[in-house]
Amino acid sequence: MKTSDIRSRFINFFERNDHTVVPSSSLLYNDPTLLFVNAGMVPFKPYFLGEEKAPFARAVSVQKCVRTLDIDEVGVTTRHGTFFQMNGNFSFGDYFKEEAIAYAFELVTGSVADGNWGFDADKVWVTALHGDTETIDLWQKVGIPRAHIQERGLKDNYWHMGVPGPGGPCSEIYIDRGPAFGPDGGPEVDEDRFLEIWNLVFQTQELSAVRAKDDFDVARPLATRNIDTGCGLERTALLLQGVNNMYEIDEVFPVIQRACELSGRRYGADPADDVRFRVVADHIRSSLMLMTDGVTPGNEARGYVLRRLMRRSIRAMRLLGVGDRVLGELLPISRDAMRGSYPDIDGAWDRIVSVSATEEESFRRTLASGTVILDTAATRAKQAGETSLPAEQAFQLHDTYGFPIDLTMEMAAEQGLAVDRDRFNALMTEQKERARADAKSKKGGAASTEAYRQIRDTGEVPFLGYTDLDIETHVAGIIADGVVTDRAGDGDVVEVVLAETPFYAEAGGQDADHGMITGDGYSLEVLDVQRPVPGLAVHRVRVLGELISGAHARAVVDAEARRGSCQAHTATHIIHAALRELVGPSATQAGSYNKPGYMRFDYSSPTGMSPALRQEVEQRANDAIRDSFEVTSASMKLEDATAMGAMAMFGEKYPPIVRMVELAGAWSRELCGGTHVPNTSQIGVINLVGEQSIGSGVRRVEALVARDAFRQFAAERALVNTLTETLRVQPDQVVPRVEKLIHQLKDAEKQIAALNAAQLRANAGQLTSQVRDIAGVRYLGVELPGVSGGDLRTLATDLRDRLGTEAAVVALIGGADGRAAALVATNDAARGLGLKAGALIAKACAALGGKGGGRDDMAQGGGTKPEAAGQALAAIESELAHRG
């Protein structure tokens, strides 16, 4: 029986039984908690959760699904597939257990002639939740013998979504494949021989908390009892088609056959090869279906999943001996197998061909370079007696060559080496933090490297922006969603390459230019400019009108913003030179960023600046502006520039011919491709506004430049004027006047605190009247709103002494400003009974939403819930009452 026939029989059966046929949703269903639809019930979640009223009482669907958690099991087991189809019938407050069981049994065991699947009833086994006698009785009623019904625990036979929401017991249907597949004894013994095909979920409860599959809290019964079932189409097909696993069914196996033809190897001859064949078959089909639904290979989220699947299939074919391009051979086979159930594949086919070809070519280049590096690193590691590949090497493969970490781990494992995944993740985190610090996070999204290289191969894009901000040129290429295209429409945000450009692409710490590109029938707002590959400037633009590749274009840079960038970049060089002059030659650059009106400069230094040094650096920088240093640039050989003392960024790669920028000759010489003012006097002024540590041995200075610096000075002057008027003093008297006021305020606070403490001690006698006896312990628990931690300690000591030598515990809850402060004190007799202040304060602070600790005789803490003071005192009282 073909898979498409099994599918149609399922739909037709439930349609005959008054179910509304619901088409499959896209794999990219609008659910922020999911990358992809991973279960048949996902499109119905709003109905089960009560967020929307179901438009039908009964429904049937065959839903496309993708799960990636078990990707490493693909090809190894008979049960795991990345893409799969889930048959499901659903009831929203309509029928329940009896009908669901009867429907399932009829379809599974009914005759093929009547439109059913025709399984032998004697081979059917089912499971039920321990103690669910109703379900057991109903299965027996339809004809399943009690010996074929097994009871299992919550982990196996209770279903929920993993989050608060609907849940309920479930019952699973298994088919006995016979002794050739394993021992007898039902699914409890062997789930390879006894293969699950269908899970019937009886939704009856609303869960308030879910900690694990078998650990959750039930809030209340559901308003309506629902049915949610999932029947694996591929698993059903492998049984009805008499094959060994889901990779051999009619919708998957043709890819394996074609892979055998391409490789010259036979499926079934070698276990290792068989795993590779199955990986290829699964991943090719999964990639096909993801691309059909609009996913493009990328480095994040859904795009990363697709890229991983495609690259794993390409690599598996290489391990099978096929070094040529394979996606163009295999994807059409999968298309032909799947198009009967999903005709929309044909509509997306042109895009699939283009995207897959680009991705394969990109990965072929990655493999060529990365494999050599990995093999070399692996050889060195083994020669050194290491059992793992350095995480730094894995990170380089990922960051520089686009090697997915999963692929690196696979290839390392093949050579008997592990990879420190935790260290790799830490390196990735560090990279992301650096990217955020350098304002480069906006780069992460667009086209594949191959698309850029495809355009770059037509020629380099000259940068004319050192001298020209307004040029005539033409559109040399358009990239949309990672693919080269010939046009873009109104409102699109795409990437555009010009034959030459005046726009500065972000580099060397300098932000990208902005401006407009215009032509006949269109205008483009330039949002960003990057150089994803050497020699290529890519403009990220928003389109107004209709843009066609090859169109004439006028490119105009925002001159005011460029001037601001030039001022800020030259200011960065000035600050660098001033630091080297005043701090020393060890103050080398560790990073920078500048944009109109602002600059920051990171430099190596074990210590921070004193206020005096910071003022001196600022003064030296403004002296350089006042002295009107000429700013010049020249292109020369790298070795000549370094011989002249030009500063280079450590770790940066430079071409043979570099551009050196000078300020006052040898005072500042740096290798730099950025744009600058022709004379330092055009900067106006630098206002050093911050200096701080950003890491071990690295400091950061921040400054405002030109107009932004003047605005800051004006704001500070206005603040000083306000203070002089308020305090009625001259500007030079503001600081001593404020210091005097602060001193007076502190004295007043001390006096108030002393008065409060005296008052508390005076009231201590009244508080002792609230002492109660709890299980032989004198207990005084008091709420004192507004009393601080220090005063609580003083008062608790006084009260404890007043309670005498009998076992006594004092608990006080105070606090202010939305926070609670708590203190517990015990005397010697109480501690002799095992009552420790540290343990008691922990109980109190848990109720207050915080933590506490301390010695056995006195402990303190606090929390964010001052309103729970009564509960905190009650928690201590409970501990006293139940001690021992």
Residues tagged in the binding site annotation: 569, 573, 672, 676
Three-state SS at 827:
coil
Chain CA centroid to CA 525, Å:
30
Estimate to the nearest angstrom the gap between the alpha carbon of 80 and the chain centroid: 25
284: DSSP letter: H
H/E run at residue 590? strand 589-595
Provide the token pair at 217.
């809290």
Q: State the CB neighbour count (10 A cutoff) for residue 715.
A: 10
Specify the 3-state DSSP secondary structure of 509.
coil
Euclidean distance between CA atoms 558 and 389, whole angstroms: 49
Of 483, 530, 82, which Cα lies nearest the Cα of 302? 82
With 0-12 CB in 10 A as exposed, 13-18 as middle and 19+ as buried, what is 220?
Answer: exposed
Residue 356: Cβ within 10 Å count: 24
Q: Is 31 helix (H, G, I), strand (E, B) or coil?
A: coil
Structure tokens at 434: 């650096």
Residue type at 268 in one-letter notation? G
- Residue 20 DSSP symbol: E
Is 676 within 8 Å of 623 (Cβ atoms)?
Answer: no
Q: How far, in Å, are 552, 553, 599, 610, 875 from residue 619 at the CA level? A: 49, 46, 16, 14, 62
Rounded Cα gap, residues 801 and 864, in angstroms: 30
Residues 6+ apart with CB under 8 A from 252: 234, 246, 281, 282, 285, 337
Determine the Cα–Cα distance for residues 457 and 459; give it in Å rounded to an integer: 5
Smallest Cα–Cα separation from 267: which of 320, 315, 335, 319?
A: 320
The helix (run of H) or strand (run of E) holding residue 328 is helix 327-338
Structure tokens that stand for 759 in this block: 């008052």
Q: Which residues, listed in sequence order, are joined to residue 601 by a DSSP beta bridge?
A: 592, 701
Amino acid making up residue 80: H
* Terminal-to-terminal C-alpha distance of the chain: 70
Across 161-232, the runs of DSSP E, i.e. the strands, are 165-176, 194-212, 215-232
Both tokens assigned to 683: 């900067």
As a whole number of angstroms, the distance between CA 148 and CA 344 comes to: 42
- Annotated binding-site positions for Zn(2+): 569, 573, 672, 676
Cα dist. 205→94, 165, 682 in Å? 16, 8, 72
Between CA 18 and CA 855 the distance in angstroms is 71
Number of H helices, E strands in the chain: 24, 33
Would you say 523 and 542 are in contact if contact means Cβ atoms under 8 Å apart?
Answer: no
Angle formed at CA 195 by CA 191 and CA 196, multiple of 5 degrees: 105
Counting Cα atoms < 13 Å in the Cβ hemisphere of 715 gives 9
Comparing C-alpha atoms, which of 310, 290, 313 is closest to residue 302?
290
* Helix (H), strand (E) at residue 879: helix 869-881
**Cα–Cα distance for residue pair 506/517, rounded to 1 Å:** 18
Q: Please give the sequence-ordered ranges of beta strands (E in DSSP) within 432-492, or none if there are none.
A: 470-480, 483-485, 487-488
Contact call for residues 656 and 638 (beta carbons, < 8 A): yes
Strands, E assignment, 1-135 = 20-21, 58-66, 83-92, 124-129
